[in-house]
Structure 1
Amino acid sequence: PLTVQDKEHNHQVGSQRVMVEHIIREMKIFKIMAYPYRNRRKRFGLKVNLIAAIYNLEL
């Protein structure tokens, strides 16, 4: 059986995980995270950062 503190901790972790999963879903809409990346690996971080910036502008 879980204590009240354990339940509260699980609730907080679950809330954060849901937010991250929603962001990953939004990034998959741009297709960079949905398929295997086949271009230069040096540019992968740049492209992910650009898409993350575009997503943050929408918020």
Structure 2
Amino acid sequence: MDGQAYRDLDDARTRIGEFIEVVYNRQRLHSALDYLAPDAYEASLWLQRQETPDAIHSRENCY
């Protein structure tokens, strides 16, 4: 991870685990989320919920 120096193995495991959870997993694209990052996927869900039910229904019929 960017040439970081770690105190010991436990420090490395902790800091690398935090990096994976906080940075990597939130930025990488997930196939289960239509190849969006989790934050982008959640934002798209929020936008969909803001639409009227008629708009959502008509979009579902387009596919």
Q: For this structure pair, what is the TM-score category when the shorter chain's length is used for normalisation?
A: 0.3 to 0.5
- The structure with the largest helix share of the pair is 1
Compare CA radii of gyration and give the structure with the larger one: 2
TM score, norm. by length of structure 1: 0.36
Larger RCO: 1 or 2 (CA < 8 Å, sep 6+): 1
TM score, norm. by length of structure 2: 0.35
